[in-house]
Amino acid sequence: MAIIRPNILKDAVARQKYAQGVNLLKNEFTTSTTQSLGIPGPSNPISTYDLFVVWHQVAMMTMTPTSQNERNAAHSGPVFPAWHRFMLRQLELNLQRALQDPAFGLPYWDWAADGDLTPSKQKKSKIWAADCMGNTGSPISKGPFVFKASNPQSFRVRIDADSSNQLRQVNRGLRRAIGAGATTLPRRSDTSTALKTTPYDLPPWDRSSGGFRNFLEGWAQNPVVMHNRVHVWVGGDMLPPTSPNDPVFFLNHCNVDRIWEAWMNKNGRTYVPLDNASIDLKGHRLHDDLSSLISPPTQPAAVLNMTATYTYDTLLV
């Protein structure tokens, strides 16, 4: 039976379990080390959660052969929804294992519902309450992801990147600057536009493309919309390539995945480019391997239909 991914603001159990699971993975160390991953400094162990941070940053720094418009292994090209769907599923599996709950479904944040509120009310959404994701600040001071120097089990940012996007070791609290980089979140009208936007993607397959993928990712308008605007609006650790440092990252991308699922329900489970596309699109074609540090790679074709594995409590129409 497929698991159900719930709205985090409507499911108290999901809120509690997500925070618990993230903190468990933050304190579960793998056989990988900072040295084995090429991160300067002492050779320290890497937590399961922090491996997702490294994975995302490495993908963003892995450019496609032409590097046109900053197309990389996970962004600014057709593979954006598929790569992140793969990443979300790997986190979900690890959370299920850590929580010993195979029925746990990764929750999503319906940011467009908050986006229809006034800017001041957006900042006061329940997602920023102490019993959900915590508050804004540098570092944040409330919620389940507060850094306490005296408590080695508390949530802490261990890996980030410098101004040259080189990974480095740190030991600090989580940072957010809610509403500082953008005035408002995306609105329901934006998600409605996304569902009406076809085809899936178009040449030149980058940040200048028409189609659903580029609108969903957020490059289609200026200022940026959709997924990109959420990163900018939350700010702090949600801005750089190491953005999975903030657990809100996965709630954002789970909603992005929900919108993609709704689009496919409406428009068909189609994907382009196909395998005969130019080698310049390596990593973005239907049967190209998706980059991975967590599990064996998969392909966009393998994640187009996940309905036997998970569904959402509600889909946009």
Encode pLDDT of 297-313 as tens digits. 999 999 999 999 999 99
Asked whether 146 and 155 are in contact (CB, 8 A), the reply is yes
CA-CA distance, 212 to 268, in Å (whole number)? 12
Nearest C-alpha neighbor of 216 from the set 284, 264, 182:
264
Q: The dihedral of CA 143, 147, 149, 152: what is its sign? A: positive
Average pLDDT over residues 191-220: 96
Q: What is the pTM of this model?
A: 0.97
pLDDT score at 116: 97
pLDDT score at 65: 80
Average pLDDT over residues 234-251: 98
Cβ-Cβ contacts under 8 Å for 150 (sequence gap 6 or more): none
Cβ-Cβ contacts under 8 Å for 304 (sequence gap 6 or more): 82, 264, 269, 271
Average pLDDT over residues 214-241: 94
Question: Can you give the residue ranges of every domain in the chain?
Answer: 3-312
Does the pLDDT value for residue 68 go beyond 80? no
pLDDT score at 264: 98
- Residue 289 structure tokens: 């391997």
pLDDT score at 278: 93
Does the pLDDT value for residue 121 go beyond 70? yes
pLDDT score at 67: 62
Does the pLDDT value for residue 294 go beyond 70? yes
Q: The dihedral of CA 207, 208, 212, 218: what is its sign? A: positive
Give the 3-state secondary structure of residue 90: helix
Give the 3-state secondary structure of residue 4: strand
pLDDT score at 242: 98
Does the pLDDT value for residue 139 go beyond 90? yes
3-312 has which fold? di-copper center containing domain from catechol oxidase (1.10.1280)
Does the pLDDT value for residue 168 go beyond 80? yes
Amino acid at 242: T
CA-CA distance, 163 to 225, in Å (whole number)? 24
**Angle CA 90–96–283, to nearest 5:** 5
pLDDT in tens, 264-293: 999 999 999 999 999 999 999 999 999 999
Does the pLDDT value for residue 250 go beyond 90? yes
Q: How confident is the model at residue 70 (pLDDT cuts 50, 70, 90)?
A: confident
Q: How high is the mean pLDDT of the chain?
A: 96
pLDDT score at 1: 87
pLDDT score at 316: 83
